[in-house]
Homo-oligomer: A and B are copies of this chain.
Amino acid sequence: MSKTIDFYFDFSSPYAYLGSRLIEAVAARHDREVVWHPFMLGVAMQGEKTFPLTQYPLKGDYSRMDFERTARYHKIPFVMPADFPKLTLGASRGFLWIARHDPAQAIAFAKKVFAAYFVSGKDISDIEIVAEIAEETGVDRAAFSAAIQDPEIKAAFKASVEDTVFNRKVFGAPFFIVEGERFWGADRVGQLDEWLTRGGW
Contacts and interface: CB of A to CB of B under 8 A. Distances in A.
A58 B171 contact: yes
A30 interface: no
A185 B47 CA distance: 24
| Interface majority SS (helix, strand, loop, mixed), chain A | helix
Interface string A25-67: 0000000000000000000100111110000111101100110
Contacts of A51: 49
A137 interface: no
Of the four ranges (under 10, 10 to 19, 20 to 34, 35 or more), the interface on chain A belongs to 20 to 34
Contacts of A78: none
A184 B190 CA distance: 17
A3 interface: no
Given A184-B66, A187-B187, A44 B58 contact: yes
A44 B185 CA distance: 22
A32 B62 CA distance: 24
A73 B171 contact: no
Nearest to A175: B62
A184 B65 CA distance: 11
A179 to B, nearest CB: 14
Contact of A185 (B72, B184, B187): B187
Interface string A151-177: 000000000000000000111100000
A120 interface: no
12 contacts: A48-B58, A48-B59, A49-B56, A50-B59, A61-B169, A62-B169, A62-B171, A62-B182, A72-B201, A73-B201, A185-B187, A187-B188
